[in-house]
Amino acid sequence: MYGKRILLGISGGIAAYKIAYLIRLLKNQGAEVKCVMTPSASDFISPLVVSTLSENPVAIEFWNKDSGLWTNHVELALWADLYIIAPATANTIAKMASGICDNLLLACYYSSKSKTIIAPAMDLDMYQHPTFKRNLNQLISDAVLVIPATNGSLASGLEGEGRMEEPENILRFIQINFPFSAKELSSKKKILITAGPSYEAIDPVRFIGNHSSGKMGFALAEICLAKAWEVTLICGPTNLDLAHPNLNIIPVFSAEDMLLAVQENWKNADIGIFSAAVSDYRPEKFETQKIKKTEKTINLQLIKNPDIISWASENRGAKQFVVGFALETNNALEFALNKLDSKKMDMIVLNSMEDKEAGFKKETNKITILDKKKGKYSFPAKSKREVASDIIDTIFKLM
């Protein structure tokens, strides 16, 4: 990162105390660092610490009351190759999302032409609050990159999601997403993800479906987007929504629709993550009129659906990486290994219905990852977002 210009915005949360360490890490990489702070951030970390470590004056107010000098936020914002706001509090995120510009940190955001990254930090209930989620989604669709908060002890004494990501991981995120060297450039990826259920029509009003919510696939898409990767998300019927400039979302209904969408998009992808719960069978005949309840019993003849992931494995280029999922109710490991092999995957993510933390519509998931070289990686129960992060990290390691 030699000579790269990083503007670091610090807002007023307890995690601000870790910023001293982040500045050190960035400086050690050779980056030039300038800092802006919100007035309340200086209650959490002394501007003297920040200016000493960054080796630059810290800007807090629009103008210096002693000298009368004005801080040019436009110049500061345009100076930066990258703007990182860490910690980003719920208040700052809300203001960024709604256009409020009442401090220097926000004025720099509005004047900036560089990429902005935020590392949110707040208490767990705030992190789950619909208002916060709405604001965060707004920033994601405004092309702000998000380093998700992690799980652990919070300043309130509670345990949960809301801790700012550790400085080492913030640095790693920057290095992966801002390929300042050719090696890092090669780590930028195009991802194809299938998500959600498939619905197989019986007649114009009924279908065969399953309980998949699509949450796992959407969490995977969010993590990939946060890495500035390009994502094609092919999803069966869900209630979920996601918008981002790097996201191409293709809604589909049946397994056959999903296969068509995969066939059209697969050759451009580096990685395929097939998390959709595709129906194995569909009604052989689609009744064009609603079936009437005249008979005492009726038979529904089913035929096998195409296996989408197998098509992708058989039609892949040398460098394309294929990831599948297995949700099993029994003999989980054995079934997952068989799938890994028969569908020629590089890696399979197993979640067992025997685990109470895993399964449809749950917020958490507990996974074991198996790879084609017989590697086995087990993880504790985590939120689907954290699981998504583990999956992406493992793909990266195996690739």
Least Å distance, CB 21 to ligand C5P, is: 40
Q: Which is nearer to ligand C5P, 33 or 369 (CB)?
A: 369
Least Å distance, CB 369 to ligand C5P, is: 13
Q: Tell me which residues in 35-94 interact with ligand C5P (CB under 6 A).
A: none
d(CA 80, CA 322): 38
Work out whether the CA dihedral 216, 222, 224, 230 comes out positive or negative. positive
Least Å distance, CB 272 to ligand C5P, is: 9
Terminal CA-CA length for the chain: 24
Q: Enumerate residues 6+ apart whose C-beta is below 8 A from 83.
A: 6, 7, 9, 77, 108, 109, 112, 114, 115, 116, 117
Question: Considering only 171-179, 206-214, 287-295, 305-313, which stretch makes contact with ligand C5P by CB under 6 A?
Answer: 305-313
Q: Which is nearer to ligand C5P, 97 or 309 (CB)?
A: 309
Q: Out of 16, 255, 322, 350, point to the residue binding ligand C5P (CB under 6 A).
A: 255
Give the residue among 257, 247, 226, 234 at the shortest CA–CA distance from 145.
226
Give the residue among 162, 170, 93 at the shortest CA–CA distance from 122.
162
Q: Which is nearer to ligand C5P, 121 or 308 (CB)?
A: 308
Question: Considering only 11-19, 282-290, 304-312, 375-383, which stretch makes contact with ligand C5P by CB under 6 A?
Answer: 304-312
Q: Which is nearer to ligand C5P, 43 or 264 (CB)?
A: 264
Q: Which is nearer to ligand C5P, 53 or 340 (CB)?
A: 340
Give catalytic status of residue 210 as yes or no. yes
Q: What is the contact mask toward ligand C5P in residues 306 to 325, using x (rule: CB under 6 A)?
A: -xxx--------------xx
Q: Tell me which residues in 178-237 interact with ligand C5P (CB under 6 A).
A: 194
Least Å distance, CB 131 to ligand C5P, is: 34
Q: Does 305 bind ligand C5P (CB under 6 A)?
A: yes
Q: Does 339 bind ligand C5P (CB under 6 A)?
A: yes
Helices (H), the chain: 19-28, 47-54, 73-79, 90-98, 104-111, 124-128, 130-141, 167-177, 182-185, 215-226, 255-265, 308-314, 332-342, 384-398
Which of 91, 137, 151, 210 does the annotation list as catalytic? 210
- Residue at 261: amino acid letter: A
d(CA 191, CA 203): 34
Least Å distance, CB 293 to ligand C5P, is: 30
Least Å distance, CB 233 to ligand C5P, is: 13
Q: How many residues bind to ligand C5P according to rule CB under 6 A?
A: 15
Q: Which is nearer to ligand C5P, 289 or 330 (CB)?
A: 330
Q: What is the contact mask toward ligand C5P in residues 265 to 294, using x (rule: CB under 6 A)?
A: ---------xxx-x-x--------------
Give the residue among 146, 147, 156 at the shortest CA–CA distance from 124.
156
Q: Does 390 bind ligand C5P (CB under 6 A)?
A: no
Q: DSSP class of residue 277?
A: B
Q: Enumerate residues 6+ apart whose C-beta is below 8 A from 182.
A: none
* Pairing label, strands 368-371, 321-328: unpaired
Bridge partners of residue 208, in order along the sequence: 200
* Pairing label, strands 368-371, 347-352: antiparallel
Q: Which is nearer to ligand C5P, 339 or 382 (CB)?
A: 339
Question: Considering only 20-28, 84-92, 303-311, 391-399, which stretch makes contact with ligand C5P by CB under 6 A?
Answer: 303-311
* Pairing label, strands 347-352, 321-328: parallel
d(CA 345, CA 348): 7
Q: Out of 326, 347, 350, 392, point to the residue binding ligand C5P (CB under 6 A).
A: 326
Least Å distance, CB 342 to ligand C5P, is: 8
Task: List, by residue number, the catalytic residues.
Answer: 210
Chain residues binding ligand C5P by CB under 6 A are 194, 255, 274-276, 278, 280, 305, 307-309, 324-326, 339
